[in-house]
Amino acid sequence: MQLLRIAYRTKLANTYDVHGDFFEPGVLHAVNLNGIPPHKLMLKKGIPIMMMRNLNPDLGLCNGMRLRIVGLKDHVMHATIMTGVRRGQHVLTPRIVFISDNDASEFPFRLRRKQFSVQPAFAMTINKAQGQTVQYLGLYLATPCFSHGQLYVALSRVSERSRFKVLIENAKAEEDGGVYTENIYDLILYD
């Protein structure tokens, strides 16, 4: 079964890394750091994407915002917002410059990479899903949720119980044939 078939041509968005004369470009292109998009970003018209940075909060272009690509040029991406009060609104997003943090990096240099501030978003973590609303939800739990309220956040992204499915790895069976997972919560006492 094929989950998604998109007939548009794939566009490879390579970065413009500034590397000087000390390191081979191939070495720098292979470096992947948290918060910086990869050198090769595979994008295609019609795919869902997620913003990785706050570009323009007034237009709703914030970290975690989901969009769908309408068109791609070398330096600008045309997309529509998928959720929230700005749903359906068209936006243009440029490539921006990302600079690595020397303190958090194990590399002896600061990487400067110019790339779109997005990543493909066919799936997302529970933390990234917080605040989002979706029509249908598939939740994969390889391990039980590990923090207070995380399971609630995941399951409350849809409006009806019939709109989500959950796959629990190593689930514990109940007598009635169902399965369960641990739900972590903090006991809150009020005076």
What pLDDT, in 10s, does the model give residues 107-162? Answer: 677 778 888 999 898 888 888 888 778 888 888 888 887 787 888 888 888 888 89
**Cα separations in angstroms, 186 against 145, 149, 155:** 13, 8, 18
| C-alpha torsion sign, points 100, 103, 104, 109 | positive
Under a CB-based contact definition with an 8 Å cutoff, are residues 97 and 37 in contact? Answer: no
With 0-12 CB in 10 A as exposed, 13-18 as middle and 19+ as buried, what is 62?
Answer: middle
Separation between Cα atoms, residue 42 and residue 61, nearest integer Å: 20
Under a CB-based contact definition with an 8 Å cutoff, are residues 46 and 73 in contact? Answer: no
| Predicted TM-score of the model (pTM) | 0.71
pLDDT of residue 1: 33
72-83 average pLDDT score: 91
